[in-house]
Amino acid sequence: MKPFHIFNSLTRAVEPFMPLDTSPTPTATFYSCGPTVYLPQHLGNMRAYVFVDTLRRALEFNGYTVRHVMNITDVGHMTSDEDAGEDKIEKTARAEGKSPLEVANFYIAQFKRDCAALNIALPIDAVPDAVAHPPQSALCRATDNIPAMIGVIEQIAAHGYAYTTPSGVYFDVEKWRGPSGMGRLSRQSLSEQHAGQRLEHSADKRSPHDFALWVLNQPHHMMQWDFPGIGRGYPGWHIECSAMSMRYLGETIDIHSGGLDHIPVHHENEIAQSESATGHQFVRYFVHNAFLTGMAGAKISKSAGRFPVLDDLVEEKIHPLAFRLLCLGAKYRSELAFSIDAVRAAEKNLNYLNEFVRCLQPRVIANAHDAAWAGAYEERFHEAMNNDLNTPQALAVALELVAAAYRQNDHRIWHTLRIFDMVLGLDLEGRIKEIAKGVFPPRINRLMTEREKARAAKDFKRSDELRAEIELSGYEVKDTKAGMVVMPKRVAP
RNA sequence: GGCGGCGUACCCAAGUGGUUAAGGGAGAGGUCUGCAAAACCUCGAUUCGUCGGUUCGAUUCCGACCGCCGCCUCCA
């Protein structure tokens, strides 16, 4: 089996993944750019988190212990330039008459709920003051890590790559780019960029490329902290990722993920900050996901005029995991054209897998060994996942496996399928548990009994009426050889 | 102006320098079924935006062109 391979934006090549830790049971460190919590995360955002989750699962599939950190941006992300714009969180807070903390908490809760619905496993919340023993993995908030940011800024300043002005502390890009080759990631030399051409920038900056590490003298900004020796203010956007990545995972990490849009500015700046502070490599593998497109034109009930969110799908009676499956149907580095029809098509696949699992005999599930022929599928699946996360192919293998089981009338593939699902995250096991419960509300039980009677009496008119009634209550009704099957529709999580 | 990407059947979407270009959805026909659903079987691109070039051979490499898109300003 080929080792895990991943496309590294630093080299623009698919490379074998070699973590820093070369022990027999290696750990991989993984930092993901997380949400800015001032609006609901739209489906494009969620695609990125499905990607992050899939990558984490693929690493674990390959035997790595993953230390995963995701940040939550709850301060410092401005609507335009660092010094000209408005803080996104505060803008929403003012609009809604809430405090920034309330806004952040509200959207964090929503984000977590959406991730849960998509079966995205987030790292546990970081305890704010666990300075002495930072956790191995963490979901961490920028506002809980201000001291760490100040520490990195001080390091940068100590190495001479920061300067302080009345409006803030800036990173000296001109000074840094010589030794660093800044622009490697985006393949853009600074002279080729038109930075500052289309927007006002602070007169304090020595160069329009410079960016704020710490912003000073913004009395209207609600969230402010003391920077000893510098003054009261708040951090620039990029510094949080450098600081939290280093704090929780170390000065050099294995993988750093984010959207393609982060390459030219955010990640270039992160590299500059981190490497000027520590003097050595910040990230070994940068991975970037492509966008979900076509959302603006997607005609979903409530989404007119904005990007659709997961709730819009639920409103259309589409299960969230159908969206996850849609994402898996395209490579993470390819744009994926979103449409309601595309999600519905994905939902068919989800139902197909669920239906197979539902029909499995308990003794097949309990059986410790799968049919011998399933092994070839597992190999193909692993191969696909290790080839730069080729989820479309892996998914095809899973579907082919199920089709082969049907065709050969040999259903002994549950363990293989469960292994696939540990990577795909479609919660097939949850489906089995759900079915095992088999408990229905009294009203549904009554309707079921009545319908069985009607069918036995060949009163099909009544039978069809009862089916319609049961379905209206959110259940599916199927007549099989073994009799009537009623199950909850998989809509709301 | 600069950087980057994409164009594969009605739709979504993999893939490869050379035997039949994955998989799914939709569609057509059939089996099964009280009906429906599910499942199964069969069919479906002589062709990979266009035109050139390299090659014994290109959808895959190179060039030009056309079309679409992202970024260079916040953005997954």
Q: Which nucleotide is nearest to A36 (CA to C1')?
A: B75
User: How far apart (Å, rounded) are the C-alpha atoms in residues A351 and A425?
Assistant: 14
Share the mean pLDDT of chain A.
85
User: How far apart (Å, rounded) are the C-alpha atoms in residues A310 and A41?
Assistant: 8
Say whether pLDDT at A422 is over 90.
yes
Name the residue with the least CA to C1' distance from nucleotide B3.
Answer: A188
When comparing pLDDT for A439 and A446, which is higher? A446
A398/B20 CA-to-C1' distance in Å: 22
pLDDT digits (tens, 9 = 90+) for A91-118: 888 888 888 898 999 999 999 999 999 9
> Tokens standing for A340?
């309601």
> Residue A456: left (phi > 0), alpha (psi -120 to 50), or beta?
alpha
ipTM of the complex: 0.91
Please report the pLDDT score of residue A462 as a whole number: 84
Q: Which nucleotide is nearest to A384 (CA to C1')?
A: B14
Confidence label for A433 from pLDDT (cuts 50, 70 and 90): confident
Lowest mean pLDDT among A159-173, A409-423, A452-466: A452-466
Q: Which nucleotide is nearest to A187 (CA to C1')?
A: B3
Q: Which nucleotide is nearest to A78 (CA to C1')?
A: B74
Q: Is A185 in contact with A271 (CB distance < 8 Å)? A: yes
A209/B1 CA-to-C1' distance in Å: 18
Name the residue with the least CA to C1' distance from nucleotide B32.
Answer: A481
A478/B36 CA-to-C1' distance in Å: 8
Please report the pLDDT score of residue A12 as a whole number: 86
A415/B56 CA-to-C1' distance in Å: 48
Q: CB pairs under 8 A, 24+ apart, for A432-438?
A: A432/A357, A432/A358, A432/A360, A432/A365, A434/A488, A435/A358, A435/A487
Q: What percentage of chain A carries pLDDT values higher than 90?
A: 48
Distances (CA, A) of A210 to A56, A98, A289, A313, A449: 34, 33, 26, 42, 73
| The total number of residues written for chain A in this structure | 493
User: How far apart (Å, rounded) are the C-alpha atoms in residues A72 and A143?
Assistant: 9
* pLDDT average, residue stretch A38-43: 90
Amino acid present at A339:
S
A393/B19 CA-to-C1' distance in Å: 22
pLDDT digits (tens, 9 = 90+) for A180-239: 666 667 666 555 454 444 444 567 888 878 888 999 888 888 889 999 999 999 998 889
Please report the pLDDT score of residue A492 as a whole number: 39
A328/B58 CA-to-C1' distance in Å: 30
A264/B72 CA-to-C1' distance in Å: 8
Please report the pLDDT score of residue A363 as a whole number: 78
Confidence label for A436 from pLDDT (cuts 50, 70 and 90): low
List protein-proximal bases of chain B (any atom < 7 A from a CB): 1-6, 11-15, 22-26, 33-41, 69-76
Q: Which nucleotide is nearest to A408 (CA to C1')?
A: B40
Please report the pLDDT score of residue A196 as a whole number: 42
Q: Which nucleotide is nearest to A201 (CA to C1')?
A: B73
Name the residue with the least CA to C1' distance from nucleotide B71.
Answer: A261
A422/B37 CA-to-C1' distance in Å: 29
Q: Which nucleotide is nearest to A329 (CA to C1')?
A: B13
